[in-house]
Structure 1
Amino acid sequence: MGRTWLAALLAAWCLLGVSAHADTPVPHEIVYTVTTESPVAADIYYRETDPPTWADYSHNPYEFSPKVRVDVGPGNPWVFHATLVDPQRWAMVTATSGRSPGEPRFRCELKVDGAVVATADGPKGALCALRHW
């Protein structure tokens, strides 16, 4: 009886180990790139961490979406590397020139694990994401 109990305990332990391993989130390398055809001071919001829950995000989206104001132009892209567990849900970069005059022609690119998964362009701004915001 002792050996049977020990074998059952070991089997259960192995199953728990496999289950715990299967639930371990896999981080993904995210690369956001923003370019423009003419120089501009751009406002860029991006997601660099996964919010713990949708409720946390919706309560304060700016806590999880930092903003930078940077000079972007031909030969001067803005590139940011992040790590997200759920890029399908959270990967996002958006850039705009706001009320600045002119149309700098924005282009954004979103890569997940080295593969381009989203691109967008626009005269005064662009949004790249995997989900529809």
Structure 2
Amino acid sequence: MKYLVMVQGTQADYEAQSGKANATSPAWGEKDLQEMFAFMGALNNDLAESGELVDGQGLAEPAQTRLVDVDKEGRPVITDGPYGETKEVLAGYWVLECESLDRVTEIANRIQQCPIPAGAPNYPVVIRPIMGGPEVAS
């Protein structure tokens, strides 16, 4: 079964990671970033070796986002991000092929162990089965 495993963040989190402290997070230092990248690299290597990694990527900050919608006449309405009405956004993801929901939950728990600076927000890891495969047992 394939699963989409997602981590979340906010524009403020991206700013903190670039060294700018804010009301929700302290500034990340170079050591903090190196620890995070080393952790994620090791995780991705392990998932690739086990054959469970289909794809995984970190995403650019919300400020680089573009929203495409249509107005009442069907004309495109294009808005550049970030969006004031949006709190958390997708910060990164993995597409994993795992034997069970229990296994992908183990991986999500490992993702939660990623080092972050004291006081930085920690978001839940979201697991979504990808449709098109066998049914998910309840």
TM-score grouping bracket, smaller chain normalisation: 0.3 to 0.5
Whose strand fraction is larger, Structure 1's or Structure 2's? 1
Larger radius of gyration: 1
Whose helix fraction is larger, Structure 1's or Structure 2's? 2
**TM-score if structure 2 supplies the norm length?**
0.35
**TM-score if structure 1 supplies the norm length?**
0.36
Greater relative CO (CA pairs within 8 A, separation 6+): 2
